[in-house]
Amino acid sequence: MRIGAISDIHLDVNIDYPIIKTIQNYTKAQNLEILLVAGDISNNYKTTLSYLEQLEGAVGIPVYFVPGNHDMWDREGEIKDARKIYEIYAKQSGCLCNKNVVLKKDWSIIGSIGWYDYSFGDPGYTIEAFEKREKNKRIWQDCIMVQWHESDRQFHKRMRDDLEEKLLACEGKNVIALTHMIGTAEFKVPDTRPDWDYFNAFLGSREYGELFEKYHVSYHFMGHVHYRKQLIKNGVDYRCVCLNYHTEWQSNDLAEEVASAIQIIEI
């Protein structure tokens, strides 16, 4: 079984580019049987759900996804409670927020949006400083667009506990984990970049990687940080599979960018 994974396709920001068609062409050329999307499909739950429907119709294979932080944004203030948006996603047949997917007798897929507990931020900052989500007049937009009605660290703990529950249910199986947030420090933005010693706090949690290594997860696909990278660490194959904004692409060839972003495994 051939499985491909991609993240951060940002179809609204990249609206001038035929990304769905290009993904369709690539999945067919590579004979993929399942496509995983690790969040940040658009900046609004309505457009994200519409794009997901279009994507699954185009590729003609099962598409499983987790929402990213951008998919949780509520620019219009229509819902005012991110938990309700999360519940809308969880009801979708392809969403991994509320289910494990059994692929074969010995393989399962689990997923979560994940969140952040500030553990990737420089320890020189206080928790109170991270809770402001602002430094040098740069604001982490989730604090405006996503209202969990609980702290970041409280919501992260919910996601962490949910992941462990799913992993326990998959005991004895090979597991593919899909989260939007990163789970190990090697995927942080380098602290040498201005202010990222602070903003790394909002990229995920060390606890996710610790869980994946404790339960011997085979693969972890992630997004969020807007680059592409693979690392095998303590038996887990970690892969960051971001397509990114068109302004961040390294070439003028969309097909090349899609092929570079999508990671394929065969089980």
225 contacts 248 by C-beta, under 8 angstroms: no
Give the length of the chain: 267
**108 by DSSP, 3-state: which?**
strand
Residues whose CB is less than 8 angstroms from the CB of residue 165 and which lie 6 or more positions away in sequence, other chains included? none
Domain boundaries of the chain, sorted by first residue: 2-266
- In this structure, the strands spanning 236-241 and 219-222 are parallel
Q: What is the pLDDT of residue 76?
A: 81
Q: What is the model's pLDDT at position 142?
A: 97
Token digits of residue 251: 């070439």
Cα–Cα dist 227/66, whole Å = 18
The Cα 20–Cα 54 span in angstroms is 8
Find residue 104's DSSP bridge partners: 107
**Number of helices and strands (H, E) in the chain?**
9, 12
Give the other-Cβ count within 10 Å of 56's Cβ. 19
Sign of CA pseudo-dihedral 119, 88, 65, 47? negative
Q: Measured on CA atoms in the order 22, 25, 29, 32, is the torsion positive or negative? A: positive
CATH T-level assignment (fold) for domain 2-266: Purple Acid Phosphatase; chain A, domain 2 (3.60.21)
- For residue 151, count other CB atoms closer than 10 A to its CB: 13
pLDDT along the chain (267 residues), means of 10: 98 98 98 98 96 98 98 88 96 96 94 98 98 97 96 98 98 96 97 96 98 98 97 98 97 97 98
Q: What's the pLDDT at 90?
A: 97
Sheet containing strand 263-266, edge to edge, reads 63-65, 34-37, 2-6, 263-266
